[in-house]
């Protein structure tokens, strides 16, 4: 059966450039979407660790200096959710990625918006202050984690489990994967870096109370296989390196 095509603008078959750092949650989201939905693209590796996002060539594409970014001829577009919406409008992709039904589309959009204001800000603050600062040799702001970020992260994970996944195996009432599922799952996967933190909770400890959320992560991984694991390989290698470093440091105490 032919896949349904999402409604929107004209259909293009060209391969845009995507400026990507696979350590970035939103970048991984866009890459997994394109690979899973059959959208051709050219991946331009752009390393945040080298400051590539601040170099003139990249700032000509995205003056905001943020990843990911799309370039298609003279058209440039930042922000992962906007990029995926644009590709759903302009490429032939299955309707479930960004449904053409107005109410279903609105529900998917609401999950995308909620992510940016809630899950992302809390998860980033926890991971940055407890894990990523290790790679830079800095101390994180533990007060920010304990007083604000970690409680908000726990509330966000509970909301995914009890609200967003209340009536369906995928987010926002959907029975097939959407771009919202990829964006939120990639954010949650970043929590694996907490396995290297000097104190808990680890990713497993954070997710353990939420059965629906854990089952949903399996559904997302299976629905986007084999690309989900392939695109997350770099993150998991980074996690293993950080854990090994932490264990080595602990053995010297």
pTM over cut 0.85: yes
Q: Are residues 47 and 165 in the same domain?
A: no
As a whole number of angstroms, the distance between CA 27 and CA 53 comes to: 13
Domain CATH code at residue 243: 1.20.1050.10
Domain boundary among 93, 127, 161: 93
Q: Are residues 244 and 193 in the same domain?
A: yes
Give yes or no for a contact between 17 and 72, defined as CB atoms under 8 angstroms apart: yes
- Tens of pLDDT along the chain (253 residues) come to 222 223 334 455 579 999 999 999 999 999 999 999 999 999 999 999 999 999 999 999 999 999 999 999 999 999 999 999 999 999 999 999 999 999 999 999 999 999 999 999 999 999 999 998 877 777 889 999 999 999 999 999 999 999 999 999 999 999 999 999 999 999 999 999 999 998 899 999 999 999 999 999 999 999 999 999 999 999 999 999 999 988 877 666 6
Which residue's structure tokens are 């594409």?
61
Compute CA 252 distance to the chain's CA centroid, rounded to the nearest angstrom.
35
As a whole number of angstroms, the distance between CA 245 and CA 247 comes to: 5
Domain count, the chain: 2
DSSP per-residue codes, 109-156: HHHHHHIIIIIHHHHHHHHIIIIIHHHHT----HHHIIIIIHHHHHHH
Compute CA 109 distance to the chain's CA centroid, rounded to the nearest angstrom.
15
């Amino acid at each position: 059966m032919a896949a349904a095509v999402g409604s929107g603008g004209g259909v293009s078959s060209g391969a845009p450039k995507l400026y990507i750092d696979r350590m970035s949650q939103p970048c991984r989201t866009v890459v997994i979407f394109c690979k899973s939905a059959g959208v051709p693209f050219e991946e331009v590796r752009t390393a945040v660790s080298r400051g590539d996002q601040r170099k003139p060539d990249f700032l000509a594409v995205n003056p905001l200096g943020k990843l990911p970014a799309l370039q298609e001829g003279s058209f440039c577009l930042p922000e992962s959710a906007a990029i995926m919406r644009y590709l759903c409008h302009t490429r032939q992709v299955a309707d479930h990625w960004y449904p053409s039904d107005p109410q279903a589309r609105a529900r998917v959009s609401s999950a995308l918006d909620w992510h940016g204001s809630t899950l992302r800000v809390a998860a980033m603050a926890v991971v940055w202050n407890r894990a990523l600062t290790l790679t830079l040799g800095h101390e994180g702001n533990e007060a920010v984690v304990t007083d604000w970020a970690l409680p908000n992260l726990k509330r966000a994970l509970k909301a995914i489990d009890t609200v967003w996944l209340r009536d369906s195996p995928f987010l926002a009432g959907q029975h097939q994967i959407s771009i919202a599922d990829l964006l939120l799952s990639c954010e949650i996967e970043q929590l694996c870096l907490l396995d290297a933190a000097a104190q808990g909770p680890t990713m497993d400890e954070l997710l353990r109370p939420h059965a629906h959320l854990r089952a949903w992560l399996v559904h997302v991984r299976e629905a986007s296989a084999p690309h989900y694991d392939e695109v997350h390989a770099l993150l998991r290698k980074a996690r293993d390196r950080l854990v090994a470093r932490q264990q080595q440091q602990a053995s010297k105490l």
